[in-house]
Amino acid sequence: MVLVNEQRKLSASLPLICRCIISCILVLLTQLTLSLVPRFFAASPFIVQFALSGLVLLLVQTLCGWCRRLLGVCASAPAFVFFNILFIWGFYIAVVRQAVSSLIGGLFNIEVAMIIIGLCSIMSKDPGLITNEFPHLDKLVEGSELGVDPDNENSLSRKRVRYCKICKAHVEGFDHHCPAFGNCIEASYVACSAQFVGKSQNFDKSQSENDWVVNLATSTMLFSILQLLWQAVFFMWHIYCVCFNVRTDEWVNWKKYPEFQVIESEPGESFTRMRFTNPYDKGFLQNVKDFLSLRR
Protein backbone atom coordinates (compact mmCIF):
# COMPACT_ATOMS: atom_id res chain seq x y z
CA MET A 1 0.00 0.00 0.00
CA VAL A 2 2.83 2.38 0.89
CA LEU A 3 4.58 1.61 -2.40
CA VAL A 4 1.38 2.27 -4.35
CA ASN A 5 0.93 5.64 -2.62
CA GLU A 6 4.52 6.60 -3.39
CA GLN A 7 4.05 5.68 -7.04
CA ARG A 8 0.89 7.79 -7.20
CA LYS A 9 2.68 10.77 -5.69
CA LEU A 10 5.54 10.36 -8.17
CA SER A 11 3.12 10.11 -11.10
CA ALA A 12 1.31 13.24 -9.93
CA SER A 13 4.56 15.20 -9.57
CA LEU A 14 6.11 14.19 -12.91
CA PRO A 15 4.09 16.70 -15.02
CA LEU A 16 5.10 19.51 -12.65
CA ILE A 17 8.75 18.48 -12.83
CA CYS A 18 8.58 18.42 -16.63
CA ARG A 19 7.03 21.91 -16.73
CA CYS A 20 9.76 23.22 -14.43
CA ILE A 21 12.50 21.70 -16.61
CA ILE A 22 10.97 23.25 -19.74
CA SER A 23 10.69 26.62 -17.96
CA CYS A 24 14.36 26.43 -16.96
CA ILE A 25 15.36 25.70 -20.57
CA LEU A 26 13.25 28.64 -21.77
CA VAL A 27 14.95 30.97 -19.29
CA LEU A 28 18.43 29.94 -20.46
CA LEU A 29 17.40 30.24 -24.12
CA THR A 30 15.84 33.67 -23.53
CA GLN A 31 18.78 35.11 -21.64
CA LEU A 32 21.41 33.74 -24.01
CA THR A 33 19.49 34.97 -27.06
CA LEU A 34 19.17 38.46 -25.55
CA SER A 35 22.95 38.54 -25.04
CA LEU A 36 23.31 38.56 -28.84
CA VAL A 37 21.92 42.11 -28.97
CA PRO A 38 24.90 43.81 -27.25
CA ARG A 39 27.20 41.32 -28.98
CA PHE A 40 26.28 42.44 -32.51
CA PHE A 41 25.01 45.96 -31.78
CA ALA A 42 27.55 47.14 -29.24
CA ALA A 43 28.18 50.37 -31.16
CA SER A 44 24.46 51.22 -31.33
CA PRO A 45 22.88 53.73 -28.93
CA PHE A 46 21.34 52.34 -25.78
CA ILE A 47 17.79 53.12 -26.92
CA VAL A 48 18.36 51.07 -30.08
CA GLN A 49 19.64 48.11 -28.06
CA PHE A 50 16.65 48.49 -25.74
CA ALA A 51 14.16 48.39 -28.63
CA LEU A 52 15.93 45.44 -30.24
CA SER A 53 15.90 43.58 -26.93
CA GLY A 54 12.14 44.02 -26.73
CA LEU A 55 11.69 42.68 -30.26
CA VAL A 56 14.03 39.74 -29.62
CA LEU A 57 12.23 38.91 -26.37
CA LEU A 58 8.87 38.96 -28.13
CA LEU A 59 10.20 36.84 -30.99
CA VAL A 60 11.77 34.25 -28.68
CA GLN A 61 8.61 33.92 -26.59
CA THR A 62 6.47 33.55 -29.71
CA LEU A 63 8.73 30.91 -31.25
CA CYS A 64 8.95 29.03 -27.95
CA GLY A 65 5.17 29.07 -27.69
CA TRP A 66 4.83 27.59 -31.18
CA CYS A 67 7.41 24.91 -30.36
CA ARG A 68 5.65 23.99 -27.13
CA ARG A 69 2.32 23.61 -28.91
CA LEU A 70 3.97 21.61 -31.70
CA LEU A 71 5.64 19.23 -29.25
CA GLY A 72 2.63 19.13 -26.94
CA VAL A 73 4.54 20.25 -23.86
CA CYS A 74 3.75 22.91 -21.28
CA ALA A 75 5.80 25.32 -19.21
CA SER A 76 5.05 26.87 -15.83
CA ALA A 77 4.74 30.66 -15.65
CA PRO A 78 5.67 30.88 -11.92
CA ALA A 79 8.64 28.59 -12.59
CA PHE A 80 9.70 30.79 -15.50
CA VAL A 81 9.63 33.84 -13.20
CA PHE A 82 11.44 31.94 -10.44
CA PHE A 83 14.24 30.71 -12.72
CA ASN A 84 14.67 34.18 -14.21
CA ILE A 85 15.17 35.53 -10.69
CA LEU A 86 17.67 32.76 -9.92
CA PHE A 87 19.51 33.40 -13.20
CA ILE A 88 19.89 37.12 -12.50
CA TRP A 89 20.83 36.47 -8.87
CA GLY A 90 23.40 33.84 -9.86
CA PHE A 91 24.94 36.08 -12.51
CA TYR A 92 25.08 38.93 -10.01
CA ILE A 93 26.89 36.76 -7.42
CA ALA A 94 29.30 35.33 -10.00
CA VAL A 95 30.13 38.51 -11.93
CA VAL A 96 28.35 41.78 -11.19
CA ARG A 97 28.92 42.05 -7.42
CA GLN A 98 32.62 42.87 -7.90
CA ALA A 99 31.60 46.24 -9.34
CA VAL A 100 29.23 47.34 -6.55
CA SER A 101 29.70 48.23 -2.91
CA SER A 102 29.01 45.80 -0.10
CA LEU A 103 26.06 47.89 1.08
CA ILE A 104 24.32 47.86 -2.30
CA GLY A 105 25.12 44.18 -2.72
CA GLY A 106 23.64 43.36 0.67
CA LEU A 107 20.46 45.29 -0.08
CA PHE A 108 20.14 43.54 -3.43
CA ASN A 109 20.51 40.10 -1.84
CA ILE A 110 17.88 40.97 0.76
CA GLU A 111 15.49 42.11 -1.99
CA VAL A 112 16.00 38.88 -3.93
CA ALA A 113 15.31 36.81 -0.81
CA MET A 114 12.15 38.84 -0.11
CA ILE A 115 10.93 38.40 -3.69
CA ILE A 116 11.47 34.63 -3.57
CA ILE A 117 9.59 34.44 -0.26
CA GLY A 118 6.83 36.62 -1.71
CA LEU A 119 6.60 34.49 -4.84
CA CYS A 120 6.27 31.31 -2.77
CA SER A 121 3.65 33.03 -0.61
CA ILE A 122 1.61 34.08 -3.66
CA MET A 123 1.76 30.56 -5.10
CA SER A 124 0.67 28.90 -1.84
CA LYS A 125 -1.90 31.44 -0.65
CA ASP A 126 -5.61 30.88 -1.10
CA PRO A 127 -6.76 33.56 -3.60
CA GLY A 128 -10.29 33.44 -2.21
CA LEU A 129 -11.70 30.20 -3.61
CA ILE A 130 -15.26 29.58 -2.48
CA THR A 131 -17.25 26.39 -2.16
CA ASN A 132 -20.74 25.45 -3.26
CA GLU A 133 -22.28 26.71 -0.03
CA PHE A 134 -23.59 29.81 -1.82
CA PRO A 135 -26.88 29.57 -3.75
CA HIS A 136 -26.93 30.31 -7.51
CA LEU A 137 -23.17 29.70 -7.73
CA ASP A 138 -23.58 27.97 -11.09
CA LYS A 139 -24.81 31.22 -12.64
CA LEU A 140 -21.35 32.74 -12.36
CA VAL A 141 -19.57 30.32 -14.68
CA GLU A 142 -19.50 32.70 -17.63
CA GLY A 143 -20.86 35.89 -16.14
CA SER A 144 -22.94 37.33 -13.38
CA GLU A 145 -26.69 37.18 -13.61
CA LEU A 146 -26.99 38.61 -10.12
CA GLY A 147 -27.58 42.27 -9.44
CA VAL A 148 -26.03 44.13 -6.54
CA ASP A 149 -27.98 43.41 -3.35
CA PRO A 150 -27.27 46.33 -1.02
CA ASP A 151 -29.15 44.73 1.88
CA ASN A 152 -27.16 41.52 1.95
CA GLU A 153 -23.47 41.80 2.85
CA ASN A 154 -22.99 38.06 2.19
CA SER A 155 -24.50 38.00 -1.28
CA LEU A 156 -22.35 36.82 -4.17
CA SER A 157 -22.62 40.18 -5.88
CA ARG A 158 -21.46 42.12 -2.83
CA LYS A 159 -18.54 39.73 -2.43
CA ARG A 160 -17.83 40.17 -6.17
CA VAL A 161 -17.43 36.47 -6.81
CA ARG A 162 -16.28 35.74 -10.36
CA TYR A 163 -15.48 32.57 -12.24
CA CYS A 164 -11.86 32.01 -13.32
CA LYS A 165 -11.73 29.96 -16.52
CA ILE A 166 -8.07 29.06 -16.00
CA CYS A 167 -8.46 27.83 -12.41
CA LYS A 168 -11.98 26.55 -13.17
CA ALA A 169 -13.10 27.87 -9.81
CA HIS A 170 -15.08 30.72 -8.26
CA VAL A 171 -12.95 33.37 -6.59
CA GLU A 172 -14.11 36.00 -4.13
CA GLY A 173 -12.83 39.47 -5.04
CA PHE A 174 -11.44 38.19 -8.35
CA ASP A 175 -9.34 40.74 -10.27
CA HIS A 176 -7.59 38.72 -12.98
CA HIS A 177 -5.52 35.60 -13.45
CA CYS A 178 -1.83 36.22 -14.06
CA PRO A 179 1.53 34.61 -13.20
CA ALA A 180 3.34 35.83 -10.12
CA PHE A 181 6.18 38.30 -10.63
CA GLY A 182 8.52 40.59 -8.71
CA ASN A 183 9.73 44.09 -9.58
CA CYS A 184 12.15 45.17 -6.84
CA ILE A 185 14.87 42.89 -8.19
CA GLU A 186 14.70 44.45 -11.64
CA ALA A 187 15.04 47.99 -10.29
CA SER A 188 18.07 47.14 -8.15
CA TYR A 189 19.74 44.92 -10.71
CA VAL A 190 19.62 47.66 -13.34
CA ALA A 191 21.71 49.88 -11.06
CA CYS A 192 24.18 47.10 -10.21
CA SER A 193 24.65 45.84 -13.75
CA ALA A 194 25.01 49.39 -15.09
CA GLN A 195 27.91 49.96 -12.68
CA PHE A 196 29.54 46.71 -13.81
CA VAL A 197 29.18 47.51 -17.52
CA GLY A 198 30.47 51.05 -16.98
CA LYS A 199 33.56 49.88 -15.11
CA SER A 200 34.23 47.10 -17.62
CA GLN A 201 34.29 49.59 -20.49
CA ASN A 202 37.00 51.58 -18.72
CA PHE A 203 39.41 48.64 -18.73
CA ASP A 204 41.81 47.78 -21.51
CA LYS A 205 40.61 44.81 -23.52
CA SER A 206 43.56 42.80 -22.28
CA GLN A 207 42.44 43.36 -18.68
CA SER A 208 38.69 43.34 -19.16
CA GLU A 209 36.25 40.53 -18.60
CA ASN A 210 35.46 38.21 -21.45
CA ASP A 211 33.21 39.78 -24.06
CA TRP A 212 30.41 37.33 -23.38
CA VAL A 213 30.34 38.31 -19.71
CA VAL A 214 29.96 42.01 -20.53
CA ASN A 215 27.37 41.18 -23.19
CA LEU A 216 25.41 39.07 -20.73
CA ALA A 217 25.58 41.81 -18.12
CA THR A 218 24.23 44.29 -20.64
CA SER A 219 21.49 41.96 -21.89
CA THR A 220 20.30 41.11 -18.36
CA MET A 221 20.21 44.84 -17.60
CA LEU A 222 18.09 45.43 -20.73
CA PHE A 223 15.84 42.51 -19.77
CA SER A 224 15.37 43.97 -16.29
CA ILE A 225 14.48 47.40 -17.69
CA LEU A 226 11.88 45.79 -19.96
CA GLN A 227 10.36 43.99 -16.99
CA LEU A 228 10.41 47.12 -14.87
CA LEU A 229 8.75 49.16 -17.62
CA TRP A 230 5.67 46.99 -18.08
CA GLN A 231 5.39 46.39 -14.34
CA ALA A 232 5.36 50.15 -13.76
CA VAL A 233 2.42 50.46 -16.20
CA PHE A 234 0.73 47.53 -14.47
CA PHE A 235 1.27 49.16 -11.08
CA MET A 236 -0.25 52.46 -12.24
CA TRP A 237 -3.28 50.61 -13.60
CA HIS A 238 -3.89 49.00 -10.21
CA ILE A 239 -3.57 52.35 -8.48
CA TYR A 240 -6.41 53.50 -10.73
CA CYS A 241 -8.43 50.37 -9.84
CA VAL A 242 -7.96 51.02 -6.12
CA CYS A 243 -9.02 54.67 -6.42
CA PHE A 244 -12.22 53.80 -8.30
CA ASN A 245 -12.92 50.41 -6.67
CA VAL A 246 -13.01 48.41 -9.87
CA ARG A 247 -11.36 45.11 -10.79
CA THR A 248 -9.52 44.35 -14.00
CA ASP A 249 -11.96 41.62 -14.99
CA GLU A 250 -14.91 43.93 -14.31
CA TRP A 251 -13.41 46.72 -16.43
CA VAL A 252 -12.58 44.47 -19.38
CA ASN A 253 -15.70 42.29 -19.27
CA TRP A 254 -18.25 44.73 -17.86
CA LYS A 255 -20.78 43.80 -20.56
CA LYS A 256 -21.01 40.35 -18.94
CA TYR A 257 -22.05 41.78 -15.58
CA PRO A 258 -25.48 43.47 -15.47
CA GLU A 259 -24.65 45.51 -12.37
CA PHE A 260 -22.15 47.51 -14.46
CA GLN A 261 -24.63 48.26 -17.24
CA VAL A 262 -26.95 51.21 -17.67
CA ILE A 263 -29.44 51.12 -20.52
CA GLU A 264 -30.47 54.55 -21.76
CA SER A 265 -32.12 56.11 -24.79
CA GLU A 266 -32.60 59.65 -26.01
CA PRO A 267 -36.10 61.06 -26.54
CA GLY A 268 -37.29 60.40 -30.07
CA GLU A 269 -34.73 57.62 -30.70
CA SER A 270 -35.85 54.08 -31.43
CA PHE A 271 -32.69 52.41 -30.17
CA THR A 272 -31.02 52.18 -26.77
CA ARG A 273 -27.41 52.50 -25.67
CA MET A 274 -25.57 50.66 -22.97
CA ARG A 275 -22.89 52.42 -20.96
CA PHE A 276 -20.60 51.48 -18.10
CA THR A 277 -21.38 52.37 -14.49
CA ASN A 278 -19.65 51.27 -11.32
CA PRO A 279 -22.03 50.44 -8.45
CA TYR A 280 -19.10 49.77 -6.11
CA ASP A 281 -17.52 53.22 -6.40
CA LYS A 282 -17.94 54.95 -3.01
CA GLY A 283 -15.68 57.90 -3.73
CA PHE A 284 -11.90 58.16 -3.73
CA LEU A 285 -11.29 58.31 0.03
CA GLN A 286 -13.68 55.50 0.95
CA ASN A 287 -12.36 53.31 -1.87
CA VAL A 288 -8.79 53.72 -0.65
CA LYS A 289 -9.90 53.13 2.94
CA ASP A 290 -11.69 49.92 1.97
CA PHE A 291 -8.60 48.72 0.11
CA LEU A 292 -6.26 49.45 3.01
CA SER A 293 -8.57 47.72 5.47
CA LEU A 294 -8.70 44.71 3.11
CA ARG A 295 -12.49 44.76 2.90
CA ARG A 296 -14.24 42.82 0.14
Q: What is the pLDDT of residues 225-255, one digit of tens each?
A: 888 888 888 889 889 988 998 888 888 888 8
Q: Which residue has the higher pLDDT, 267 or 209?
A: 267
128 or 51, which is more confident? 51
Residues with Cβ within 8 Å of residue 221, at least 6 apart in sequence: 189, 190, 193, 194, 197
Q: Which positions ≥6 away from 185 have C-beta within 8 Å?
A: 85, 88, 89, 108, 111, 112, 115, 224
Binned at pLDDT 50, 70 and 90, residue 132 comes out as low
Per-residue pLDDT, 13: 72
Measured between alpha carbons, how far is 167 from 169 in angstroms, rounded to an integer? Answer: 5
Amino acid 262: pLDDT: 83
Mean pLDDT (the chain, rounded) = 77
| Range ranked top by mean pLDDT from 23-37, 123-137, 278-292 | 23-37
| pLDDT band at residue 139 under the 50/70/90 scheme | low
Least confident of 6-15, 85-94, 283-292: 6-15
Q: What is the mean pLDDT of residues 109-129?
A: 77
| CA–CA gap between residue 49 and residue 73 (Å, rounded) | 32
Radius of gyration of the chain (CA): 24
Closest CA to 149 of 250, 258, 253: 258
Whether the predicted pLDDT of 33 surpasses 90? yes
Count the alpha carbons within 13 Å of 128 in the hemisphere toward its beta carbon: 18
pLDDT of amino acid 195: 78
CB distance 260 to 279 below 8 Å: yes
Higher-pLDDT residue of 119 and 47 is 47
Residue pair 55/231 in contact (Cβ under 8 Å)? The answer is no
For residue 12, the SS3 value is: helix
pLDDT, residue 54, reads: 92
Quick one: which of 28, 286, 258, 290 has its CA closest to 145? 258
- The yes-or-no verdict on residue 28 having pLDDT over 90 is yes
Question: Quick one: residue 169, left, alpha or beta (phi over 0 = left, psi -120 to 50 = alpha)?
Answer: beta
